Amino acid sequence: MFEIILAATARSYFFLRRFMPTAILIDAINTRRGLKWGLPAMLLAVPYAMAAVYCRAQIEAGGAGWLNLLVVLFLWNMLKFVLIGPISLLKLIAVRVREAVARRRRARTLLADGVESLDEPVLVSRHG
């Protein structure tokens, strides 16, 4: 029984990661090229907050109870977008620091090998 529950949970998780728009967008933001879009993506939290407030108002005005599910969904997506901004900013800082360290190491190695300038192309002979 536990295996069936685990398999169903895994399948639903991977389905949601692959086809849900917010998951796709957050996965794109978590790439190296997308890290710079984390802070602007935080603005997407505003429409989700407004949708949650609207659905909550509909519920209080006598609307259907299933709108509570939408409120929870909207709030969850809002939270994801609010958190992706600072997280992507920290990741971007870490990546840029690693890249700068790698550039300095490469420059130090080339200078130690006797390369005069990093701007000049290095000519490599095929014959030895």
Query: Using one digit for the tens of pLDDT, what is the confidence trace for 103-128?
Result: 999 988 888 887 765 565 555 555 54
pTM exceeding the 0.85 threshold for the entire prediction = no
Query: Could you state, in order of their start, the residue ranges of all structural domains in the chain?
Result: 2-98
Tell me the C-alpha distance between 49 and 43, whole Å.
10
Cα separation, 80 vs 114, in Å, equals 50
Query: Tell me: the pLDDT tens digits for 16-44?
Result: 888 888 999 999 999 999 999 999 999 99
Phi, psi for residue 95 in degrees, rounded to 5: -65, -45
